[in-house]
Structure 1
Amino acid sequence: MEHLQEKQVGSAELCKGSFLHVLRDTVELSNGALTTREYVVHPGAVMVVPLIEDAQGEVRLVLERQFRYPLNRVMVEFPAGKKDPGEEPFQCAQRELREETGYLARFWAHAGVMHPVAAYSTEVIDIWFAKGLTAGARQLDADELLDVFTATPAELLTWCREGQVTDAKTLMAALWLQNVFSGAWTLDWFETT
């Protein structure tokens, strides 16, 4: 696949904010042509798919409604957030679940990773599943306003199909949920203390 590789020959910083860092690189294509690539350097993030099981084994999903300023709308999403400097993905998943929902989880499974916008960002989102939840107090950031609610997997899939859920990471989680619940994919659960 060497014919697909691009080689950086120069780089310029376009913007450095408190969260995002934007670069414009000059790259050489395998045919010798030069072009530019603009992209966002992102610290990485996690998404947690929290599962609440009742005594009969019925599952409900913990979701959030949050206003997303760039889209000027409220989105339905799973709990998620960016990693702090030096923070491991699992630590971030535990922190984000606790901060945004108040829940602590006894059992965890790492499902995989996704690159939500590979064409223009280095962002990698680690996907985690959590169960054995214990409710507690949320610890939202000062500028964070969101509603936490539960839904059935069937409700989430309906919202995805009807276009009410358009968040890429939540759509990816719906794919995981379908495959895990059907038995096509497995999760390796581990217990925390």
Structure 2
Amino acid sequence: MPNDSDAHLQETCVQSQSLCEGSFLKARQDTVRTPDGALSTREYIIHPGAVVIIPLLDDHHILLERQFRYPVGQVMTEFPAGKLEPGEDPLCCAQRELLEETGYTAGQWAQAGALHLAIAYSTEIIHIFFARHLSPGQRHLDEDEFLDLLVQPEAEFFEACQSGRVTDAKTLTCALWLQNVRQGAWPLRWENA
């Protein structure tokens, strides 16, 4: 959170131009005045925001997804996630994405926190949710969406994170949350769906 004592670090926009206007992402190039008065350039991506869900199953198992991610050219293991629609409440988005991608609905939800994914070049913020008391149902994948579900013991998941088999940043952040919640260090406030 910015405060008055941060003024000596802040940059101000002098000029802004669009580099690309995609249907999902937008790229901008801004000229900024740095704290010492010099001019510099900042290129960044405008992202609508997203959610990620940590679905808790019985007996310390979690629900993950495996999906080919084109930009990195490989199948990634990650928690269910999805982008916010304009004006959409993050909890509503999390509930929608969990159902669409996994077919599960949750009886209880807890908002954990937020993650700024790539602060050097993106506005993306990801809202982190936990879901429990899961009930299976029918998935509703997007037409161009292909993914497998993976039920995994939490201990195996943590080992996959430690060994480098899981490298997705949002999923690694969720691992930190999950570990601290399980240890009782970061309590959650659960609410019924």
TM-score norm. by structure 2 comes to: 0.96
Q: Secondary structure at the match of 2:167?
A: coil
Q: Secondary structure at the match of 2:188?
A: coil
Please report the RMSD computed on the Cα atoms of aligned residues, expressed in angstroms.
0.5
Q: Given the alignment, which residue of 20, 42, 49 partners 1:15?
A: 20
Between the aligned residues of both structures, percent identity stands at 57
TM-fit CA distance, 1:85: 1.2
Matched with 1:49 is: 54
Write the distance in 1 (CA, Å) between the matches of 2:48 and 2:149.
25
Write the distance in 2 (CA, Å) between the matches of 1:128 and 1:161.
22
Matched with 2:62 is: 61
TM-fit CA distance, 1:147: 0.2
Q: Given the alignment, which residue of 41, 44, 50 partners 1:39?
A: 44
TM-fit CA distance, 1:30: 1.3
TM-fit CA distance, 1:59: 1.6
Write the distance in 1 (CA, Å) between the matches of 2:29 and 2:55.
38
Structure 1 residue 165 and structure 2 residue 169: aligned? no
**Residue segments in structure 2 that go unaligned for 5+ positions in a row:** 1-5
Matched with 1:111 is: 112
TM-score norm. by structure 1 comes to: 0.96
TM-fit CA distance, 1:95: 0.3
Matched with 2:35 is: 30
Write the distance in 2 (CA, Å) between the matches of 1:185 and 1:73.
33
Matched with 1:140 is: 141
Write the distance in 2 (CA, Å) between the matches of 1:177 and 1:49.
8
TM-fit CA distance, 1:120: 0.3
Matched with 1:123 is: 124
TM-fit CA distance, 1:148: 0.6
Equivalent pairs counted in the alignment come to 188
- Which residue identity lines up with residue 120 of structure 2 in the other structure? A
Structure 1 residue 156 and structure 2 residue 161: aligned? no
Matched with 1:175 is: 176
